[in-house]
């Protein structure tokens, strides 16, 4: 969903992922108001980054809500909720595309029913409220104090931006993590350390490890994790730990 106003007519408006608060004067100028498509199950994950927040939270379900906009941040009453089950391995780009398709399939029917008076806006629940913020570059750094599941969720949530990376001591050399696998619970690695097990580079975390299948070293080219270690075996030394 790009930051685009989809349509606006004389009686009702439609907005999707605009990323800004609409002035009250504009909301009041359109007789039937402005409808907004939001890719989360409101009131959860209001704000700028609902799809990454959904993945980071480990939610088992998400969806698209059609709301009648008010002057708050995604606080308007709801017209329609389209639900979308999650497996737990979704990555942000594909999830965004699937939710956009879901929204496109339902919005025409919802608008027709609203204009015909067949559905009325329902206030959002007062429970389960959460608000997201715009992502920052610093959000993508994985630390040794993280769990393996948190690191895996971050990689899935922060694609393509801000991406995820680690900072290797002692020089805090940055290593971008391009492809990260699901957590490995029995790796028995010290948190923040690297090791190669059965031909796979692993990053140790507090409760296990995550496989680093593809990486890009600072100033280098994208490569497999094992290719990195073949050229840089010193990264397996005990002192080559990531930031705590």
Decide if 185 is inside a domain.
yes
Q: What secondary structure letter does DSSP report for 137?
A: G
Same domain, 147 and 211: yes
Number of domains, the chain? 2
3-state helix, strand, coil split of the chain in percent (to 5) is: 25, 30, 45
Residue 63, beta-bridge partner list: 83
Decide if 188 is inside a domain.
yes
Taking phi over 0 as left and psi of -120 to 50 as alpha, with beta for the rest, 58 belongs to left
10 Å CB burial of residue 131 (0-12, 13-18, 19+) is middle
State the CATH number of the domain containing residue 202: 3.10.25.10
SS3 180: strand
* pLDDT value of position 17: 67
* pLDDT value of position 3: 41
Domain interval for residue 210: 137-236
Decide if 243 is inside a domain.
no
Q: 158-161: which pairs have CB atoms within 8 A and are 24 or more residues apart?
A: 158/52, 158/92, 159/91, 159/92, 159/93, 160/92, 160/93, 161/135
Neighbour tally for 171: CB within 10 Å = 9
Taking phi over 0 as left and psi of -120 to 50 as alpha, with beta for the rest, 237 belongs to beta
| pLDDT per residue as tens digits for the range 94-109 | 999 999 999 999 999 9
* pLDDT value of position 239: 83
Same domain, 111 and 159: no
CA-closest candidate to residue 64, choices 118, 14, 34, 101: 101
- pTM, two decimal places: 0.91
* pLDDT value of position 25: 84
Same domain, 74 and 169: no
* pLDDT value of position 8: 45
Which structure tokens are listed for 58? 């480990």
State the CATH number of the domain containing residue 97: 3.40.50.170
* pLDDT value of position 6: 45
Q: What is the Cα–Cα distance from 6 to 111, expressed in whole angstroms?
A: 13
| pLDDT per residue as tens digits for the range 177-201 | 999 999 999 888 999 999 999 999 9
Alpha helix segments (H runs only) across the chain = 24-29, 50-57, 92-115, 148-157, 225-231
Residues (pLDDT < 70) of the chain are: 1-10, 17, 19
């Amino acid at each position: 969903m790009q930051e685009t106003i989809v349509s606006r007519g004389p009686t009702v408006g439609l907005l999707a992922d605009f990323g800004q608060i609409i002035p009250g004067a504009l909301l009041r100028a359109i007789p039937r108001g402005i409808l907004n498509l939001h890719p989360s199950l409101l009131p959860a994950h209001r704000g700028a980054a609902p799809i990454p927040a959904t993945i980071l939270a480990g939610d088992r379900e998400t969806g698209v809500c059609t709301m009648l906009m008010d002057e708050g941040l995604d606080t308007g009453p709801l017209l329609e909720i389209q639900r979308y089950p999650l497996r737990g391995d979704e990555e942000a780009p594909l999830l965004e595309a699937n939710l956009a398709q879901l929204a496109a399939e339902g919005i025409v029917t919802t608008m027709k029913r609203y204009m015909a008076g067949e559905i009325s806006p329902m206030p959002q629940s007062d429970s389960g409220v959460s608000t997201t913020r715009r992502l920052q570059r610093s959000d993508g750094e994985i630390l040794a104090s993280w769990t393996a599941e948190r690191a895996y969720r971050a990689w899935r949530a922060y694609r393509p931006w801000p991406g995820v990376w680690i900072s290797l001591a002692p020089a805090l050399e940055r290593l971008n993590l391009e492809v990260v696998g699901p957590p490995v619970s029995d790796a028995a690695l010290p948190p923040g350390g690297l090791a190669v097990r059965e031909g796979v580079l692993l990053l140790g975390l507090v409760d296990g490890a995550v496989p680093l299948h593809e990486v890009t070293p600072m100033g280098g080219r994208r490569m497999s994790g094992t290719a990195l270690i073949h050229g840089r075996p010193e990264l397996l030394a005990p002192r080559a730990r990531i930031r705590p």
